[in-house]
Structure 1
């Protein structure tokens, strides 16, 4: 780590009678990066340190051994005098530093790793929803502010959580059928089909896919419907072009058990999909963009807005304006006819 040096000697200590506001040593107000060599983690209470020391992330053991002290001490330094959730911070920081040091080749120096450019680049690389990425970034920023304040003098721009990622076109969404069918195992293929048909065909949120049971699906001559549980209970009809794939995903599932299957690599339902796609074969689609495709198709087909609102599970449709650029615009004559309330002749 580079040590900051002054170009002049510190001013002498003020004597009695001198200006009490006199700065004794200008170096005292220059924020410097923490030395992350294990000294900070040792200052924490034993009951806090014990679970941190036992933590082992899901990365190669040799990679973790190379960065372990650096990561633990960063969390320790950021925890001093704060209410930081150390367990959560450690889990996030471990994977961040693994990416920055072992994969990107950055030196184990607080200012090199914990700065806004690196944090932003890392968060952009995550296959998570906007809210999750914003949450991860807030934790990393809290660490950066404590261990490398001089390298983060300005506040970071917040992630605009109401922006959307570009929806796939209908052709792009259909192109992922080969991805779903090309997984190496039967179970992965079934999950890929459930993700693709559930998000592009019924607009399911990632977390809702993990809460589906076989008995929630009804197939009849009038189509396939899904009863969705969770925070936004509703019933949605699957789009006709995705019905067959959706039923293929349901086929063979045991009643009373989640369709996503017994394999759960994360406790957070919303992370089930991103965890699966990160380990899948080939280039996986993003669930949020598939859901966007579904929404654009409904709006383009002029499905009644109240139907769209209910089927999408929205309580507030604050992002509606963000989808407008992706809709097919009517001709000038059609627009005039629609505004007049009549049909084009």
Structure 2
């Protein structure tokens, strides 16, 4: 155990030394945006794509300069940009030998050749996202224009999980190799699938925020949208497994290293390191939870209160997945023969 800890410390020191040396090497590029936040610069300078080292060495300065000039301010947006732009630039340089200028790299021809060559069988939504990101760079930094792919049909994005998919996720959670991992998986499923929490809310939940009243499980959500959410009955056992045997009320329910600039990154890391046949993303689990409540006829004002949504318009993207209700049970109300409850 001591040897493993020593290796961890050595590796951490090595990575920190590399970060500082690379920061000094590319300081002239950071100066292109004097107000660039430290956490954004950290993502830019630490990022290394899965391409041959020789390719990355050839295009890295160009990619870093572009990222700085895009003036990102959020972890997730700069991370997405680095993921897409670095691989694209390496491909352009390798395939075309083009001079590394924004006008020559971010062209419509290059973008669509890249999608055809590298992503011919990927989903419509994935290809659309790449094209959109590269088009934004062309629009901001170059005198070029990249036509957008048609946006994927809304019904293909964030669909609720099926019963079979949910069953597969529970099997995945139960199959992980340690209690710690099984409890983390159960925390994601229980808090997102059973209480509809967003990623930002989920990573902030501590043991003290979960309690049982009259046999029902509740989650008290802190933060900018505070609320108290009853956990749906089919998910209560899952969430209880996540906290079983744990006594420290201040401990986070989901245990993982949190980046100060973007705490939900811990969830993404866990799901990537412990893949499931059906990736249990928090957004789709939340969608499933909301659609279930809509299908069950939960009153609008109650639904908004427990979801943390601000207005009814926010429900549009969920309503498209809900069942069309039958009118017969409501004829009395619609004709005024009955009083609304």
Alignment TM-score > 0.5, same fold: yes
Change (3 A) 1:100 1:232: same
1:70-149 aligned at under 5 Å gives the runs: 70-76=59-65, 84-85=71-72, 91-97=79-85, 99-100=87-88, 107=95, 109=98, 110-111=105-106, 115=111, 124-125=125-126, 140-145=134-139, 149=143
Residue ranges of structure 1 left out of the alignment (5+ in a row): 1-40, 127-132
Shift of 1:163: 9.7
2:185 aligns to what?
192
Shift of 1:44: 4.2
Q: Secondary structure at the match of 1:319?
A: helix
Shift of 1:161: 10
- Cα distance per residue 1:139-195 (max 9 Å; x no partner): 644433466644x35477789999962112345334321122122333222111111
Change (3 A) 1:177 1:104: farther
Shift of 1:305: 1.9
Question: What is the distance in 1 between the residues matched to 2:210 and 2:81?
Answer: 40
1:227 matches 2:216: no
1:43-82 aligned at under 5 Å gives the runs: 44=28, 47=31, 55-57=45-47, 59=49, 63-76=52-65
- Cα distance per residue 1:278-297 (max 9 Å; x no partner): 22232222211111111111
Maintained 8 Å contact 1:197/1:243? yes
After TM superposition, the score normalised by the length of structure 2 is 0.67
Maintained 8 Å contact 2:194/2:234? yes
Maintained 8 Å contact 1:198/1:246? yes
1:310 matches 2:300: no
1:269 aligns to what?
263
Question: What is the distance in 2 between the residues matched to 1:201 and 1:164?
Answer: 21
2:7 aligns to what?
none
How many residues in Structure 1 have an aligned counterpart in Structure 2?
291
Tell me how large the CA RMSD over aligned residues is: 4.5
Rg larger for = 1
Maintained 8 Å contact 1:265/1:272? yes
After TM superposition, the score normalised by the length of structure 1 is 0.66
Change (3 A) 1:54 1:196: closer
Deviates more, 1:110-119 or 1:290-299: 110-119
Maintained 8 Å contact 2:173/2:185? yes
Shift of 1:304: 2.1
Change (3 A) 1:153 1:281: closer
1:298 matches 2:285: no
Q: Secondary structure at the match of 2:313?
A: coil
Question: What is the distance in 2 between the residues matched to 1:289 and 1:310?
Answer: 20
Change (3 A) 1:48 1:325: closer
1:326-337 aligned at under 5 Å gives the runs: 326-337=321-332
1:146-165 aligned at under 5 Å gives the runs: 149-150=143-144, 152-154=145-147, 165=158
